[in-house]
Structure 1
């Protein structure tokens, strides 16, 4: 009986303890999201520490688990750093997981395939979609700034939708394009500029990459060295940017809705003289020139405008042309599917009304990507992106927009006449200056319709052998409408207005077939190989018309500046007999054919070897020189697999790598190798033919050879990781317009010159997880330094390279685009005259000072300054605490100088006909004055202010800029349950909000835009009346459901 009693008591005690434990358990729910972008992470393991009890998150990142109070939950997922949370009274625990940036299993796109990052032996930088999300940029290339070592991103202007200058490891060409190759989902893009030669003068070219919606992009890889880029052969000389768009995932369809809106204004505004200040200095200049000052009612005439000092205005033209811009972006995406078929769909609308009046950029885009596993052996993937963009571009430079506002539009003139009409347009010849507000009546609008479509089919012959073929089309239709309003009726001698229209159709067809092999032998030997055959064909068809002027209108629509139904209205109302029209059309075609091969070998998971070879043929060259051959070799050693390092706890990963290879450049335009003729020359009363270009069927590729070495490292369980790299790149056989014997009838012809350019540099980047837990802090820092030098000019004089804007040149042992100026020696304290240093017989400045005259400046020029920075980089910090996140990105550049080509006429050089900067108030006025601004005169440098090409206007362009700062709040998952919303993030962000610089011009980042390759490569460091970048403030939300 007693035994039965004890057993019963034991049973009840056990039951009591069990029930008590069960009573102490509770259900914990929550959502696991990525720290970087706030997106939910499916498949995260949620386990009670020290046990096997656990669960996993669903497709929306949600989980539910019953646990006891006081246990520790461990959250783990491949590619992310583990998170641990103690259960202490909570019923809902939301977790943010930090991406393990050095995850050895991370897969990167390498061109014609993928590789695990640990096995990559080339120099590749990656940018994830998080860098693009909620970033108010019109094209993805703008978002690369400050995020990748060795990639320099510069704005050509602050106008939305305008071209952007991207250089990967320096400039390697002079006469050819130095832009990288862009590849979207394996398809090389055509990014040629397609501006209308009949467009309003100095209208800004649009950015061809703005037709790609940044919200469609999953990742961007930049191939920088020859081992990585040589797989693209002749197209990879300037680096390769691989863009991978987002794909679908199996499971319930998930939707994401994002919206962003904001305002923008100029990052900086130059201070100009007021009307009364200008009048004061004008009179002072007259006195300095021996003339009497003007009386209050005395007439004086400038640029065809006659006024008296008592009737001058006080117009701030810069304020007149600027406005508060606005920004809107809405994006809706969906992804999901089954195990066999997955899809991603996205639609987006973007509108950016710039800070410069007359400028608007709009984009409407849609994309659909579908992946299908048709059978065990066959898979099919395809995608199509359709985009429409409309860019309304204002004129720039001295004849419109902010350029005219700071040049020929004097602040003593009003915007309007007393009757409300535009001031100055009634003059007999107002073309000597331009009313910037009246110029807004002229319209330059570009419509782009772009379709990017691709389809790829793969057949698994064997588990290790796959055959695939991919076909694609890149179709661009561009319509450019240019309209000259009668308001500016004397502009270009068209008193009743004029218009032009241009239609361009670019068709880029691409086909690639590839056989890939990947197998591991005896668990230590891994071989992966690729052979491929590519064909790419481009066609470019252009047709347009250019009326010489309107006449005989039946209504007054044109007097309002309206460009609506322009062509139809003109056709119906114009007197065609008195309004001759010039039509034109042309067709260009060129193509590439390529044979590609690559072999990668890995032994014992530690020794790496890569070999690649590509043969490219291009119709841009003659029949005997069309093919170029581009080999590359690389090797790597994963030292942390060695016993003598493997057991060092602090070292998580260490790899040495090196490569050498060749790439090429054929970006000179098609048909340069054969001669051309034109008709129309009259001789003896008859028309005839004349030669317009010399033939040269010996033209061939520019050649680039590059050596690269680097270290990839990770410490403390990869909480600290990064790369250190060195490279040396030599470019030869550069394609240039070379001087030829005048007996040929030509001054120059395109040849493969003996000019040699070298780019040498180092790159460093580091990523760290500084703090983990409730308060998270991660840091990314990248710094790169590139030295560009022309080691041989093949006897060509500095003025013989086809571009000399801003007095930038190509000179031996100097970087491309070095400033060619007289060295400024200050202002003579006794006379107030500008002084320069005289040069010796070798062109080097001496200590002798002479007065700066136009002839003296021309005769004493020398290489000065540094167009390329000593180093550039970016510094990103991300912080997270509970549901709050903060991201801060600084971009910086140090050590370069910019020649401000507009300053020489805005600081005294053209006082008698140009607006002037307030710096002129610090001028020399009397003997003994110490200043760097000479006395004012109406005849600087003997009446030629444009010749004041001295280092007086060579400014330090170093800067540090707060590129992006974003504060966001993630609404707790528990608060979203009833609304059936999986995630909600609210944010406020600012771009370009702070700039630290000593630069005295508009914007240290803005470079000079030039539509020619030679001009873009040489004259970039001499901006002329530029538009500064915008600073923006945006708010928005991201919603997942």
Structure 2
């Protein structure tokens, strides 16, 4: 009892001392090299979960007891531990860690440092992304990486974009890169059914960085899917020993089309009344700009709520995202998603478990894009509504006339709902008996279901027209399992670091779709497609004396899309590097970094659509229109028998293969304040998977998917990064990249006929017309036209073309390959400024040497388009006022127009206010601010180079508010 009382007395005596021993400590954390404050530094009391972080000015405050150890950690700096003794002020300077500043970049099935990379690899991080109300992730990196061109499909809500790395390598097969999200390769065959963009399921605010693998030595380890490059997307996951952080971001946007098609206004249209063929009695009394009527100002809002926390051996991050975006054509996109990541370390940190899950619901309400074409052709003297309050129409005597554009929008309902789950589980285990050996296992699934319906009214001018009703559904399932062993060892006796990886991967893709469509006949169709890939891969990398780098990899792929005789493909890659900067003779040189790289590799292609092109398949008829009448039923009605038709096939179908060579130099000056790289590449694709005409009777069709021909491409990529100013209150850094590219078909036909060509590039105006050509010696996007003849005043003479072959008649033989849609060069130019709490950044993009075929002008810029329509008069493209053409001249090179441009793509201004416990940031962003171009059409940036019925790009203004607690 006495002992207990003595202990109690001692405890009561010491308790005030223990309480009063706690001290509120504050201070500033700075960079030791330049005394600049470091925001976001984690401070934690060692052995506890109590911590804090620095604000924008590097300030922190934490309650600590004497004798406890404070741990200061920050990415790119050496961790510092300080035992607290006394005082209320503790300023800390962190020392840059040279090893960490040599940035880690992901590569296929592993990682390396930028210093040790031998392939053409480019990383674009969160702080470099384009800003604004972005719902399509690929827009984050537009203009940011040499050799990477991102072209949006237009201004529709939720619209995606086309990504091309080094121009693509194929003709009829896919030219899109392989995209890997947190270790899970995404299905290359396209977006989830009903979706406008395969990447919309990824919240752009949740992405930490993109890593672009461009050359074959870097991508060959992905084998059969890497001929068009690889993009590795890493999402944010938080970090260990991080205090609880709550973030809320709001972006409010308005969107308006930046340009419209130039057509005759009401007064110009009335001036046509002097033409004897013009029916003046049809003119109305209005002055209607139909394009102005169909386009509205779209509004949008994006909400992001994020909670993250890190413990000593675990961390988590959970993000909820809601995005709503209206298109100016009254379309709508909405996304609700949860993105969660959990990381747990066990067994003394030898075992690391990572689970990343994204659950998303995308909802699209599509607009009737036919209203775009109707708005350019509808009579501008007519009012929107007639005297009865109904939409003005041409009438039943004009059953081929366009419907009122607003009627098309009003009487149209096309909705799709996509529910998608993307989840990946990763296990990394460092073996206790061999510390240099690590096992990695990745198991992932990308599962999507869609349901939709579409209603479209029949043309009100045509009493025989039928409305369309359709319901649709589908399922996409992509499952992946891969595992690999990695062995890293430094062998001091030979001064060499080795990094060896070997593994196995299996991936299966399943797609099913169903639709039931009713017009004048009913059609129901269900399709199921499944294909799989099984692969083995290995890579060995060696760093000799921290100067000489050697890396070799190989992948063996088996694809179910080819027969057993052609199923297996082998894809090797080799690259070397020389870190010249580490040689003794470079000690006092002008350079702060200098490395030479070279690589070679073979990549594959097997994305040939949903069918197994090597198998003889039979397709049953799906509706009565394709059945054959055979006798009668007992009641006397005709009996229809379903038909079964054979599909075309090539039993010798095999891999398309691309061989690529790359040489490069990485350099830096002034302690890397100015740095960059120059990459040159040459690529050759053989056994092209292409749709080509075949002689009648040679197969079951006249168009066959087979291996034919060869395409070569070459290019030069230059990237420059500069830190121009780096002071405490002011900073300015910049990036400039330029890419020169050239592509040519070197052979195409099965018998290498140099005169053989394939028409391509369908256009409006007539049936089956094409404006482009695939032909040896030319770029795949080359136009195929007549050469226009002009008078002495430079005016085009209608119907007069150059007689190329001199036979005194103008025939198809006089059409020539002329200009191309792909640019000779494209650039990106980004600047970032910081002054105290203010920041400003902007990005320019540009294309040079590309041309666009103005199909809007060629189809509608003539009097015939106005006067000689059955039962009505349409409007004309304003080019009619310049040419005076009476008829369509679809194949005149007059309509092939130079489309060089420079676009201020993104500009953002922000201000950050750090309060005691809250960091607040407000920003104002504008996208697609202006375009400098000589092209007089709608937009100079069109991926296939043909302007017709294109949804105009929008100009967006975005207000952003961000709170961090």
- Shorter-chain-normalised TM-score: which range? 0.7 to 0.9
Shift of 1:715: 1.0
Partner of 1:990: 926
Partner of 2:47: none
Q: Does 2:482 align with 1:482?
A: no
Q: Does 2:900 align with 1:958?
A: yes
Shift of 1:833: 3.5
Shift of 1:990: 0.7
Separation in 2, partners of 1:769, 1:97: 21
Compared with structure 1, are the counterparts of its residues 830 and 454 closer, same or farther at alpha carbon in structure 2 (3 Å cutoff)? closer
Separation in 2, partners of 1:92, 1:1030: 52
Partner of 2:83: none
Partner of 2:236: 246
Q: Does 2:538 align with 1:538?
A: no
Q: Deviations over 1:784-804 (max 9, x none)?
A: 111011111223866635654
SS state of the match for residue 918, structure 1? coil
Q: Does 2:150 align with 1:153?
A: yes
Correspondence for 2:568 among 616, 622, 627: 627
Shift of 1:92: 12
Separation in 2, partners of 1:856, 1:456: 66
Separation in 2, partners of 1:738, 1:359: 38
Q: How does 1:139-288 map to 2 (within 5 A)?
A: 139-193=136-190, 206-250=196-240, 251-281=242-272, 283-284=274-275, 286=276
Partner of 2:405: 436
Q: How does 1:870-885 map to 2 (within 5 A)?
A: 870-885=824-839
Partner of 2:416: 446
Partner of 2:875: 915
Q: Deviations over 1:114-150 (max 9, x none)?
A: 1011000000111112244743222111222110100
Q: Deviations over 1:435-479 (max 9, x none)?
A: 110011211122111100111222222211111221111001122
8 A contact 2:130–2:906 mirrored in 1: no
8 A contact 1:970–1:985 mirrored in 2: yes
8 A contact 2:854–2:947 mirrored in 1: yes
Q: Does 2:667 align with 1:713?
A: yes
8 A contact 2:323–2:336 mirrored in 1: yes
Shift of 1:41: 2.8
Separation in 2, partners of 1:513, 1:840: 61
Shift of 1:877: 0.8
Separation in 1, partners of 2:290, 2:891: 26
**Which ranges in structure 2 are unaligned for 5 or more consecutive residues?**
1-24, 45-50, 63-71, 79-87, 622-626, 632-639, 764-769, 868-872
SS state of the match for residue 320, structure 1? helix
Separation in 2, partners of 1:735, 1:797: 20
Farther-moved stretch of structure 1 (439-448 vs 235-244): 439-448
Partner of 1:574: none
8 A contact 1:905–1:914 mirrored in 2: no
Shift of 1:808: 1.1
Compared with structure 1, are the counterparts of its residues 352 and 132 closer, same or farther at alpha carbon in structure 2 (3 Å cutoff)? farther
Compared with structure 1, are the counterparts of its residues 861 and 581 closer, same or farther at alpha carbon in structure 2 (3 Å cutoff)? closer
Q: Does 2:591 align with 1:651?
A: yes
Q: How does 1:582-981 map to 2 (within 5 A)?
A: 582-648=523-589, 650-669=590-609, 670-680=611-621, 682=628, 685=631, 687=641, 689-744=643-698, 746-773=700-727, 774-794=729-749, 795=753, 800=758, 803-805=761-763, 807-827=771-791, 833-834=797-798, 836-841=800-805, 856=810, 858-908=812-862, 910-912=865-867, 913-921=873-881, 923=882, 933=883, 935-937=884-886, 940=887, 945=888, 947-971=889-913, 973=914, 976-977=915-916, 980-981=917-918
8 A contact 1:737–1:748 mirrored in 2: no
Separation in 2, partners of 1:898, 1:756: 25
Q: Deviations over 1:865-902 (max 9, x none)?
A: 13211210111111111111110111111111111112
Q: How does 1:14-413 map to 2 (within 5 A)?
A: 29=28, 40-42=39-41, 58=53, 62-63=58-59, 79=76, 105-132=102-129, 134-193=131-190, 206-250=196-240, 251-281=242-272, 283-284=274-275, 286=276, 299=281, 307=282, 309=283, 311-356=284-329, 358-376=330-348, 377-396=350-369, 400-406=370-376, 408-413=377-382
Q: Deviations over 1:282-317 (max 9, x none)?
A: 533x3xxxx6x65x6xx4xxxxxxx2x4x3532211
Partner of 1:1024: 948
RMSD: 3.3
8 A contact 1:693–1:749 mirrored in 2: no
Shift of 1:28: 5.3
Q: Deviations over 1:914-962 (max 9, x none)?
A: 42233433x3xxxxxxxxx2x343xx2xxxx1x4311111111111111
TM-score normalised according to structure 2 size: 0.85
Shift of 1:42: 1.4
Shift of 1:110: 0.6
Separation in 2, partners of 1:212, 1:360: 18
Q: Does 2:391 align with 1:422?
A: yes
Shift of 1:750: 3.5
Separation in 2, partners of 1:95, 1:864: 66
TM-score normalised according to structure 1 size: 0.79
Separation in 2, partners of 1:837, 1:27: 81
SS state of the match for residue 743, structure 1? coil
8 A contact 1:227–1:633 mirrored in 2: yes
8 A contact 1:821–1:857 mirrored in 2: no
SS state of the match for residue 209, structure 1? coil
Q: Deviations over 1:412-444 (max 9, x none)?
A: 333211111111176255443121100112111
**Which ranges in structure 1 are unaligned for 5 or more consecutive residues?**
1-25, 46-55, 67-74, 82-90, 200-204, 300-306, 550-579, 924-932, 1008-1019
Partner of 1:520: 490
Shift of 1:539: 0.8
Compared with structure 1, are the counterparts of its residues 188 and 1037 closer, same or farther at alpha carbon in structure 2 (3 Å cutoff)? same
Shift of 1:162: 2.5
Q: Deviations over 1:307-336 (max 9, x none)?
A: 2x4x35322111011111112111111221
Q: Deviations over 1:194-229 (max 9, x none)?
A: 698xx9xxxxx7112112111111110010000111
Shift of 1:1022: 1.2
8 A contact 1:31–1:63 mirrored in 2: no
Separation in 2, partners of 1:647, 1:992: 46
8 A contact 1:867–1:897 mirrored in 2: yes
SS state of the match for residue 506, structure 2? strand
SS state of the match for residue 120, structure 1? coil
8 A contact 1:182–1:188 mirrored in 2: yes
Farther-moved stretch of structure 1 (589-598 vs 100-109): 100-109
8 A contact 1:810–1:817 mirrored in 2: yes
Separation in 2, partners of 1:494, 1:468: 60
Q: Deviations over 1:80-99 (max 9, x none)?
A: 89xxxxxxxxx999999999
Shift of 1:491: 6.9
SS state of the match for residue 911, structure 1? helix
Separation in 2, partners of 1:195, 1:185: 18
Separation in 2, partners of 1:494, 1:127: 52
Q: Deviations over 1:572-608 (max 9, x none)?
A: xxxxxxxx74322121111110111111011111110
